[in-house]
A and B are shown apart, each in its own frame.
Chain A
Amino acid sequence: MNLDFIFGNHQWRKIKSALASVLCCLAAVLVTAPLALVFYHLISNGASSISWSFFTELPKPVGVVGGGMANAMLGSLELLGLAAMIGIPPGVLGGVYLAEYGSSRGNWMLRFVADVLNGVPSITWGIVVYGLAVLPFKGFSAYAGGLALGLMMIPLIMRTTEEVILLVPNGYREAALALGISRWKTIVHIVMKTASKGIVTAILLALARISGETAPLLFTAFGNRFWNHDLSQPIAALPLQIFSYAISPYDDWHRQAWAGALVLLVTIFIINVLVRLLTRNRTARVL
């Protein structure tokens, strides 16, 4: 028998296996490389433009060096506040329904619809809200921007809330019901309270996700170079400001765009780290 052939073949198979491992490792490096590159360039191009005035001043006209994005940062916070008011109640209580009530078939459908909705391009929300809240009131407004972001939050929060509520052990519900506490009080005071950290996590994650959204704000919040004193008027937002500065032809504005992007990304990462700390405690407690 030709044992050499078998031996050789075995060697070849081992080499192939090692090669595949190396390629997979290389792929992992390539997939994560953009993160490091983006961060590196944000810091090297943006850090030098961050100063006290960047956080406190309005944008300066073209040609005047300096100025800041204070109005855009405040605007983003206001938009997130409006979005939270619209998105959190249906998101959280809808998630409660999915976890606590309903038939498994009906809930399967609802989950399915929520997942499909999560895949709707963010620009679509801009068009929809333009028809709902910009055209009828004849003007771009902070309300419209908040509505667009809020609608995007609903399916996001709903799915994550459901998951954290399902983590609450059934024994808690049974114990409460056995004491004669009504179902809804059990859910609100026992189940949701136990899962409260998880629910906060779900909300924070959704806020972090939409805080960088630009497309839905382009024709709802529209952007503004000044302070917004009236929520029915156009309002600035950090991502919008980054976009308009990035595509402008001015070097100084490019520098500001980098600085704004650095601030936005660091904020998003801080929220994400915060969330991770919260969830670590939760899993330690619940599970």
Chain B
Amino acid sequence: MAPPARFADKAFEWLTLALALSVVLLVFLVGWQLARGSELSIKRFGFSFLTTSTWDPVAEQFGALPFIYGTVVSSLIALIIAVPLSIATAVFLTELAPLRIRQPLVSLIEMLAAIPSVILGLWGIFVMVPWLRDYPFAFLKRTLGWTPLFSGPVYGTSMLAGGIIIAIMIMPIITSVSREILRSVPNLQREAAYALGATRWEVTRIAVLSYAKKGLFGAVILGLGRALGETMAVTMVIGNTPQIAASLFAPGYTLASVIANEFTEATTDLYLHALVEIGLVLFAITIASNLIAQVLLKTMSVASTSRAVQ
């Protein structure tokens, strides 16, 4: 009587296990496909692929440095803008805002996260970039034009515009993860600081933010991972020029956008393999940043819950 039922039980467990293991399989599949697809380029250029800056499909010379530079710089600009705003918003949502408006505000931020990249890019091309060019960029040019960062002509589409659009894309995720982190800070922490006579800001700074430091850092790295891989919106506003320029007003190019723009135009095998290798580089750096973020976030939540239980 028991065996058939037990067999079905085992079969169901193994079926679900096999399907759960599909995520592990997928990681290897992605890595293997990217490594296999970039074989020619890896053999031909070796390590110099990452350190040279000539990108010339006609002469079959491929160096990814301008794209790595563009990805790193645009993501850094995005972090500089998004991190303070997102963490301040998370503080507002957990510590300051009247209870009535917290949930609506969270819903708004979730809606912002739901806007597809391509729609934000469309808005970026036709609304944000012209506005940036005419007002903030013109102002920066007048006041700080003498520094190398803001030198050169102002076209609008630029590294800075790319960074700003990425910032808009990653703010919701940094905000909502930071909010979760701040919510997990035990109330005892706050009460203790209030009891010492701290003001509301001092409570936030001493008892909440410094307690949640590690988790907030995780949220930021998670945002960085998203920023590095952001494709459509950036492609539409960054200007798509493979160069390394000091000026933030100069157009740039990122790893993800060169793949998006040139993949279907790759005429030779080597060209295609070079583009897949760019994908491999992108995969490696986003996996690395995600690993760091997840480790920080998971250890943080374990630590905070165990402490809250005590």
Mark A residues whose CB is within 8 Å of B. 13-14, 16-17, 19-21, 23-28, 30-32, 34-35, 37-38, 41-42, 45, 89-90, 93-98, 100-102, 108, 110, 112-117, 119-128, 130-132, 151, 154-155, 158, 182-184, 187-188, 208-209, 211-215, 218-219, 222, 239, 242-243, 246-247, 254, 257-258, 261, 264-265, 268-269, 272, 276
B309 within 8 A of A: no
Q: Please give the distance in Å from B166's CB to the nearest CB on chain A.
A: 12
Docked CA distance A243–B13 (Å): 44
Assuming the A-B contacts A17-B201, A128-B29, A258-B122, are A113 and B8 also in contact, with contact meaning beta carbons closer than 8 angstroms in the complex?
Answer: no
Interface size grouping (class) on chain B? 35 or more
Contact B290 A116, beta carbon cutoff 8 Å: yes
Docked CA distance A55–B276 (Å): 37
B231 within 8 A of A: yes
Contact of A124 among B34, B117, B232 (CB under 8 A): B34
Taking A90-B22, A102-B20, A211-B116 as given, write out 20 further A-B residue pairs in contact, using a Cβ cutoff of 8 Å, ordered by the A residue number. Answer: A14-B199, A17-B199, A24-B89, A24-B96, A27-B89, A93-B16, A96-B16, A101-B13, A117-B26, A119-B229, A119-B287, A121-B229, A121-B282, A121-B286, A127-B33, A183-B12, A184-B13, A187-B12, A212-B119, A264-B116
Docked CA distance A147–B91 (Å): 40
Task: Please give, as numbers and ranges, the residues of chain B lying within 8 Å of A32 by CB-CB distance.
Answer: 105, 108-109, 112
Contact B127 A37, beta carbon cutoff 8 Å: yes
Contact A120 B17, beta carbon cutoff 8 Å: no
Task: Please give, as numbers and ranges, the residues of chain B lying within 8 Å of A110 by CB-CB distance.
Answer: 20-21, 23-24
Main secondary structure of the interface of A (DSSP, over half): helix
Assuming the A-B contacts A13-B199, A131-B33, are A124 and B88 also in contact, with contact meaning beta carbons closer than 8 angstroms in the complex?
Answer: no
Mark B residues whose CB is within 8 Å of A. 5-6, 8-9, 11-13, 15-17, 19-24, 26-27, 29-30, 33-34, 36-37, 84-86, 88-89, 91-93, 95-97, 105, 107-112, 114-123, 125-127, 168, 171-172, 175, 199-202, 204, 222, 225-226, 228-232, 236, 256, 259-260, 263-264, 275-276, 279, 282-283, 286-287, 289-291, 293-294, 298
